[in-house]
Chains A and B, each alone.
Chain A
Amino acid sequence: MAMANNNGGARDRAPFPPWILTTLRTIGSIAVTMLGLMFITFIIGRVMPIDPVLAIVGEQASKSTYDAAYQQLGLDRPVLVQFFYYVWDVLHGDFGDSLLNARPVVEDIKRVFPATMELATLGVTMGIVLGVPLGVIAAVKRGSWIDQIARVVALVGYSMPIFWLGLMGLLIFYGILGWVGGPGRVGIFYVDVVPSVTGMILIDSILDRNWEVFKNAFSHIVLPASILGYYSLAYISRMTRSFMLEQMSAEYIVTARVKGMSESAVIWRHAFKNIRVQLITVIALSYANLLEGSVLTEIIFSWPGIGSYITTALLSADMNAVLGGTVVVGLVFVLLNIFSDLLYKVFDPRAK
């Protein structure tokens, strides 16, 4: 008996504990994904029929000036070598300089990304806080007036172009009613009043205990965030509804009712627990979409975020900025994915 136990113990003893392997595997998959993303974006940047040298030196430059800039950018080396150097630089936190304003791209991203993050986080929070309960109620009271209203709300959210909603919102709540602040992150008098710690003005002003700036920043963010929030509400509430409908027809729901449980406990304690995993995916997706896809909102509200940053960079062929922005957005996607995978393991005992 003792022998058998010893043998079993020896077989069980792997060279590493399993969590190290899992972590290594995760890091490896991040690395491969990011490298692939960088490679593709890099190649696209290099094969585009734009001349970054010309963008810097201008059309009138002499041949020697042109050549000097050409060499300075490292364009005389083979593309793969260039890529290698690029990755090397990125690993050292250097995305190169913007061709347009000659500032390091990293500095620009540090400025624009928190702006987008602030907007998207507030937007998706509104989407969750309103969308999840709306979806649950619509599923539980299927076919009732509240379900119909939820359907119309979501349908409008899906089908209305965001620039139209944004413009109408500005016209009504800013132009006519004057309830909210206009475009931009804060009023002109409040720009750079609070020290930038996180780059998110709402948080920075709280840290600085400057409530006036907070109020002003809030009045500026509330409209664009509500519009983004409305879009994620449309998606989140519909998905919640269909997840809940599926669970509410499951047998374990009958079991819970047979036990003598109240209907609200059946819904929240039993059914809702089972949709958490699916809901996390939907919310993560929705959040990622807001983080990279809110270009139109950012443009309409003059929001200096990463969406409008990448778009401007693309239109002016500022490839270092485009690459930098893409890598950051890609990283956000990958991290959100890993985060939702981790939450799966917390919420679904079968995933262990």
Chain B
Amino acid sequence: MTLLDVENLWVKFPSRHGVFDAVRGVSFTLGKERLGIVGESGSGKSLTGRAILKLIRPPGIMTADRISLEGDDLMPKSERDMQAVRGQRISMVMQDPKFSLNPVMTIGEQIMEAYQLHNAVGKKAAFAKAVEMLEAVSIRDAPRVMRAYPHEMSGGMGQRIMIAMMLIPNPQILIADEPTSALDVSVQRQVLDIMDNLVKERGMGLIFISHDLNLVADFCDRVLIMYAGRIVEVCDADKLREAKHPYTQGLLNSLPRLDEPCARLQVLKRDPAWSEAPSVSGRI
């Protein structure tokens, strides 16, 4: 079943030297699956995520033929209508909990706020719901954590709190924008497992934005490879190592591997033709 259908998405930034196209005509669909978007810095993967929420701020401009969420097109929606979509139907977890949590508000306030924005409930009910949600992301002593401030949390805890906060209104889609790249390797897996379980339990769609090819190959069902604002290749995650596009191959070959040691890693050689080639469709 298709949750999200994106058709011909563009994100542009006008500058003094003309318009810079950051995302150039991307199309893909998302079902109840884990869709990875990989690419280097500046490939447009994060902006694609934010554009789905219509969170491209001026002077940036976004256009799309259609961004439909279960048949409901988001493009004509007003900012006010989008506020009902954000959080409640599509949500996003960002890279570093150190920056993505408000430093002067308690964790409880922030989680309860996320819930109460979309549910007309009192403080007590919201508190109970928030504690329940914190427990669902394996936070011990949740009532105490509710009163704590973000700086008192470790990175792994912070990111689990972010996940709790973003899932509490029960959205259908979660966009995870590099959710583990700011975390210690030792807690990355734990955070991913928690996120994965919740997404599965709730029958959600997950867009997993990352530059970590190995992680995406392990974790996702399907992968879009983006380069210079376009999708250059689409493949199943378990077939990522057999990817055909020279850019994907280049990325894979520039990673050191324990099972195939080599003296010198390959340097990625870019072909200008890649960025000119039309975008591959990520639709099913």
Contacts and interface: CB of A to CB of B under 8 A. Distances in A.
B86 A251 contact: no
B149 interface: yes
A350 B150 CA distance: 9
A52 B180 CA distance: 75
Given A251-B96, A259-B86, A350 B117 contact: no
B100 to A, nearest CB: 4
Interface in A242-276: 250-252, 254-263, 269-270, 273-274, 276
Nearest to A347: B104
Contacts of A274: 102-104
Contacts of B44: none
A27 to B, nearest CB: 29
B100 A254 contact: yes
Contact of A252 (B53, B80, B86, B100): B100
From A255, A256, A261, A270, name the one whose CB has the most chain B CB atoms within 10 angstroms: A255
B102 A258 contact: no
Interface string B95-113: 1100111111110000001
A258 B55 contact: yes
B85 interface: yes
A255 B101 contact: yes
Contacts of B53: 257-258
A349 B149 contact: yes
A248 to B, nearest CB: 9
B149 A258 contact: no
B83 A261 contact: yes
Given A349-B151, A350-B149, A350-B151, A258 B166 contact: yes
B283 to A, nearest CB: 25
A254 B94 contact: yes
Given A251-B96, A255-B94, A349 B83 contact: no
Given A260-B87, A262-B83, A251 B99 contact: yes
Nearest to A270: B102
Nearest to A273: B104
Given A349-B151, A350-B149, A257 B86 contact: yes
A254 B55 contact: yes
A262 B87 CA distance: 12
Contacts of B91: 258-259
Contacts of A269: 113
Nearest to A276: B104
Interface in B159-205: 162, 165-166, 169
A347 B103 CA distance: 11
A51 interface: no
A350 B88 contact: no
Contact of A255 (B50, B100, B149): B100
Interface residues of A, number: 22
A172 B80 CA distance: 47
Contacts of B83: 260-262
A251 B50 CA distance: 13
A338 to B, nearest CB: 21
B118 interface: yes
A250 B105 CA distance: 15
Contacts of A259: 86-87, 91, 113-114, 117, 165-166
B92 interface: yes
A260 B103 contact: no
Contact of B94 (A251, A260, A262, A350): A251
Nearest to B166: A258
From A259, A263, A276, name the one whose CB has the most chain B CB atoms within 10 angstroms: A259
Contacts of B102: 252, 255-256, 270, 273-274
B84 interface: yes
Contacts of B85: 260
Contacts of A341: none
A274 B166 CA distance: 21
A257 B55 contact: yes
A261 to B, nearest CB: 6
A89 interface: no
B101 to A, nearest CB: 6
Contacts of B118: 260
A348 interface: yes
B62 to A, nearest CB: 15
Contacts of A250: 99
Contacts of A348: 104
19 contacts: A251-B99, A251-B100, A254-B50, A255-B101, A255-B162, A257-B53, A257-B55, A259-B86, A259-B91, A259-B117, A259-B165, A260-B85, A262-B80, A269-B113, A270-B102, A270-B105, A347-B104, A349-B104, A350-B151
Given A258-B86, A349-B103, 18 more contacts: A252-B100, A254-B50, A254-B55, A254-B100, A255-B101, A256-B102, A257-B53, A257-B86, A259-B117, A260-B83, A260-B85, A260-B88, A260-B117, A261-B87, A270-B105, A274-B102, A276-B104, A350-B103
Q: Return the 9 tightest CB-CB contacts between A and B, nearest first.
A: A260-B87, A251-B99, A260-B86, A349-B149, A259-B87, A251-B100, A252-B102, A258-B92, A259-B114
